[in-house]
Amino acid sequence: MKKVVLLATALAMVTGSALAADLPVKAVKAPPPAAFDPWDVAFGGAIMNDYIFRGVTQSNHKPSVAAYFEPRYNVTKDLQLYVGVSGESISFANRAAAEVDVYGGIRPTFGAFAFDIGVWGYLYPGGTCQFGGNGFDFAGNFQGTECATNFLLNGNTMKKDVSFFEVYGKSTYTVNDNWQFGVTEFYTPSFLNSGAWGNYSSVTGKYTAPGTIFGSSGVGMYVSGEFGRQWFGTTDSFYGTPVFPNGIHYADYNTWNIGIGFTYKVFTLDIRYSDTDLSKGDCSVFTGAFNATPGTTTVTGNNPLGTSSNWCGAAGIVKLSADLTAMTNLK
């Protein structure tokens, strides 16, 4: 009798399994993939004790403020198109109201390599012509009554309109979560509308400390630096001198910076040292500094009055910035 019961139980189990296998199985519907929104906007602002551009102050070593707005379109996760506008407060010899930048480009990514290729326009509205004499350049060309009226006592000069554009390419290689290295290249046919072509190349490096270095505080830290070289061509006759009436060749120079930064949420505090190998005399010629001191450096064909300027010397920069994106910070 026990054998019969065991046999019946086994048959019931087999039959139940077979019936279960024959029953239609209701498919579990997978959740729909998250919608891909290709649009994003980056924006932010900064305040700094000195606005330094490639080793040269743009604000007469005075504080400066900046802001930017950058719409982005992500074609794929590895290809981004972007345009942007930014502004910085400056202190130029031609009394321009501000620097306004308009730019756009493309950012493709291939594995650990990220590229950035585009065009950058530097606009300086509100400028006035600054000339060092009676309105005539050294080639005898009349520059207008405005140049004669707004002359600099130190003999330096600057055009009313110094707006220009550059084409650029950048590449960054991310070794791991901590190390990044990069190269940059910028070219313009007329730097600061001087008539002299300009080419800037640099190498960059950045070390980002592990996220646990400050515990759970959310504070991050990095160390970064750059070494670059700026090459120039010959200016037009506006900047000519008695020795070179048709234009002068701006001095090529090296520039470098190194600094440490601290991040917390959208904020970054960057403390940096910047310097160049430009002499004070070449700096005066290049910048047209309104506060350059005449007769204090070697007289050259480019610098007939021997003016000198500290706009290109060593400088310490402290910058506090906030950077946000709509998709990350405004959701």
Residue type, 170: K
- The one-letter code for the residue type at 22 is D
Give SS3 for 302: coil
CB of 60 within 8 A of CB of 92? no
DSSP letter string, 95-160: --S-EEEEEEEEEEEETTEEEEEEEEEEE-TT---BBSSSSB-TTS-B--HHHHHSB-TT---B-S
Q: Is residue 262 part of a domain?
A: yes
Domain ranges, residue 190? 41-329
The residue type at 218: G
What single-letter DSSP state applies at residue 251?
A: P
Residue 169 lies in a domain: yes
- 269 domain residue, yes or no: yes
- Spatial CA neighbour of 294 closest among 281, 277, 276: 281
Structure tokens at 285: 């010629």
Domain-embedded: residue 15: no
Residues 146 and 287: their CA atoms lie apart, in Å, by 20
CA distances (Å), origin 238, targets 143, 235, 310? 8, 8, 23
Q: How far is Cα 91 from Cα 124, in angstroms, rounded to an integer?
A: 11
Count of structural domains, the chain? 1
Q: Is residue 175 part of a domain?
A: yes
* Structural domain includes residue 13: no
Q: Which residue has the tokens 């005539």?
A: 136
| Tokens 């021997």, residue located | 306
Q: What is the pLDDT along the chain (331 residues), one digit of tens a residue?
A: 444 444 444 444 444 444 344 444 455 566 666 667 899 999 999 999 999 999 999 999 999 999 999 999 999 999 999 999 999 999 999 999 999 999 999 999 999 999 999 999 999 999 999 987 777 776 677 777 888 888 888 989 999 999 999 999 999 999 999 999 999 999 999 999 999 999 999 999 999 999 888 988 999 999 999 999 999 999 999 999 999 999 999 999 999 999 999 999 999 999 999 999 999 999 999 999 999 999 999 999 999 999 999 999 899 999 999 999 988 887 6
Q: Who contacts 238 (Cβ-Cβ below 8 Å, separation ≥6)? A: 137, 141, 143, 157, 159, 194, 195
- Is the residue at 24 inside a domain? no
Give the distance, in angstroms, between the CA of residue 197 and the centroid of all CA atoms in the same chain: 20
Measured distance CA(197)–CA(303) in Å, rounded = 20
- The domain that holds 325 is classified in CATH as 2.40.160.40
